[in-house]
Amino acid sequence: MNYLIGIDIGTSATKTVLFDEEGRVAASASQEYPLYQPHNGWAEQDPHDWRDAALETLRRVMDESGAGPEDVKGIG
């Protein structure tokens, strides 16, 4: 079966969803990360947290669905 993956890298978490050819959700995963506030009025994030969360949620949706890399036809 063919699948599409959607990745949403948000302010507080990354959410990844694997959709089948009919648009049904085959698997989903979310990974939270911190918002750093080193000084009053500052808000920062570490891009490594985004990368790590994207890789982790991708791994989880692939494992949960049993899909192989060759089954994924697009990522957005």
Sequence-ordered list of residues with C-beta below 8 angstroms from that of 1, at least 6 positions apart, any chain: 20, 21, 67, 71
Query: How high is the pLDDT of residue 73?
Result: 97
Query: pTM above 0.85?
Result: yes
Taking each continuous run of H as one helix and of E as one strand, the counts in the chain are: 1, 4
Q: What is the pLDDT of residues 26-47, one digit of tens each?
A: 999 999 999 999 999 999 999 9
The predicted pLDDT at position 51 comes to 97
Closest residue by Cα to residue 10 from 59, 49, 40, 39: 49
What residues in the chain have per-residue pLDDT under 70?
none
Secondary structure of residue 49 in the 3-state scheme: helix
Handedness of CA 50, 56, 59, 64 (dihedral sign): negative
